[in-house]
Structure 1
Amino acid sequence: MSDVMPEAPEGAAPVESYDPAAPAPLGVPRVPTGHPGVDAGLERLADADHLPADGHLEVYEDVHRGLREALDALDARPQPSPSYEHRS
């Protein structure tokens, strides 16, 4: 077997080698929710647009953690106001 590549037929376009594309934004719009914690997570997702696929996990886990914290805060009991005085 020969290591020499056969020549392309005359007039045929040369075959290009595979060159993966650089990371690029998907163009998915991120609409603000009005909740600062959630909006910060949505903006953090933009960081994944410029990373190769193996860097996405860290961003997704970070956003997931922030969203869980925002949801947990909704379940927390509100603390009484420090200016509230109970009179009997």
Structure 2
Amino acid sequence: MSDAVPEPVARETDGGPSEARAPEHDPAAPAPLDVPRAPTGNAEVDARLARLADADHLATDGHVEVYEDVHRGLRDALTALDARPGPPAPPSQHENRS
């Protein structure tokens, strides 16, 4: 008789909820860029810039759709700013000459 302790036997499991598996690292998987964004003070612009984070979870070929959407939204926001009435512009130097 031997006093040796039997070694545990490795066995496959079904990976059910009772077993926690460590996620495997996939170097080809999308990785967040974690680029910091400072608030602009304009809620519409900030929301568009926050949308850029959606690209962090997409493969590279999915970035174009997000970037185009953000660009379109920022362009629309700038156009809206130009359309808003504001204080009159100061007279140019050429208008002051008589």
- Shorter-chain TM range is 0.5 to 0.7
Cα RMSD after superposing both structures: 1.4
Q: What runs of 5+ residues in structure 1 fail to find an aligned partner?
A: 1-18, 79-88
The structure 1 segments of at least 4 consecutive aligned residues displaced by more than 4 Å after TM superposition are: none
Q: Which of 34, 50, 54 is the aligned partner of 1:47? A: 54
Q: CA deviation at 1:20?
A: 4.6
Residue segments in structure 2 that go unaligned for 5+ positions in a row: 1-25, 86-98
Matched, 1:65 2:72: yes
% identical equivalent positions: 80
1:31 lines up with 2:30 in the alignment? no
SS in 1 for 2:29: coil
TM-score (norm 2): 0.57
Shift of 1:77: 4.0
In the alignment, the residues of structure 1 paired with residue 75 and residue 84 of structure 2 have an alpha-carbon distance, to the nearest angstrom, of: 16
Matched, 1:56 2:63: yes
Q: How many residues align?
A: 60
Separation in structure 2 between the aligned mates of residue 71 and residue 29 of structure 1, nearest angstrom = 22
CA distance in 2, matches of 1:21, 1:29: 23
- Structure 2 counterpart of 1:64, which letter? H
**Cα distance between partner residues in 2 of 1:59 and 1:31:** 19
